[in-house]
Amino acid sequence: MQINWYPGHMAKAKREMEANIGLIDCAVELLDARAPLASRNPDLKQMLGNKPKITVLNKSDLADPDLTKAWLSYFTDEGERAVAFCASRSGGRKEVLGAIEGATAEIVERWRKRGAKKTLRVMVCGIPNVGKSSLINNLSGAGRTKTGSRPGVTRGKQWVRLTPYLELMDTPGVLWPKLTDLEGAKRLAYLNAINDDVISYYELAVELSNLLYEQKPRQLAEKYGMPQGEDAEAILRAVARTRGFLQKGQDFDLEKAARVLMEEFRSGKLGRFTLETPPQEGAPS
């Protein structure tokens, strides 16, 4: 299986982001808390240069809480400012704004010594469908930017003023030209960061089933009314059986079952899962 998705609008968005780096003081990179490494853009560090950056583990309500804490510790040990966040729930706003304040304190102080109050401009960036617009709407307290459950809803930059001295730039979701890490690319597909038209639902659902079943076999068995110890195709058959997905000849419609399993994982209906663990000390990150 090979997965790649880098449409023309994404390449254009990356060029626009690079052109706008000079306008910003700081960046907020959203990662999906269920796969923080897979959802981190490897090109962003070079793009930002010495600009301060905050890491936000979004969708933390869908991730394993213990592993989210472990990831926060990992990023802190790496010298990053990192916070967990759930854009769809109240709370967390103070932590994100506090992280921005801490990351930009030196910039604000330099301007204060010049006798001026600095208006901070912050770029919010991340992969498609990671929740950038939802984060901004949460911070602003209003639906000022477009949101959606499919990748590619935001197609151009949008400025949102939170206060007279803080502005956020919402940017389109951007991947990188070549997804050379196949396992990482699969995780991006599981998370709905890749257009569904370029993936095989069935193949991905089989691998996702195995991955989730290794973590929480009892939870999946109870969800779909099946005995423990089954393989991935048996899980999809159980999904089809519980939903009544039958084709002509009374065969189970496994393609339709695969779509349901993927959607139930993405929405959190299967429970809280994290697909990656933090690298161990001395291991490559």
Domain locations in the chain? 8-170, 200-267
Output the pLDDT for position 6: 87
| pLDDT given at position 226 | 87
Residue-wise pLDDT tens digits, 124-145: 999 999 999 889 988 987 655 4
Sheet with 120-126, edge to edge strand ranges: 81-84, 53-58, 26-32, 120-126, 166-170, 158-163
pLDDT at 4: 84
Model pTM? 0.90
Q: What share of the chain is helix, strand, coil (3-state, %, to 5)?
A: 45, 15, 40
The rounded radius of gyration (Å) of the Cα atoms in the chain is: 20
Cα distance between residue 269 and residue 222, in whole Å:
13
Instruction: Say if domain 200-267 classifies as CATH 1.10.1060.10.
Output: no
166-178 residue pLDDT tens: 999 999 999 999 9
- What number does CATH give the domain 8-170? 3.40.50.300
Q: What is the model's pLDDT at position 88?
A: 67
Give the per-residue pLDDT at 147.
39
Residues in the chain where the model's pLDDT stays below 50: 145-155, 285
**Contact yes or no for 182/166 (Cβ under 8 A):** no
pLDDT value for 156: 55
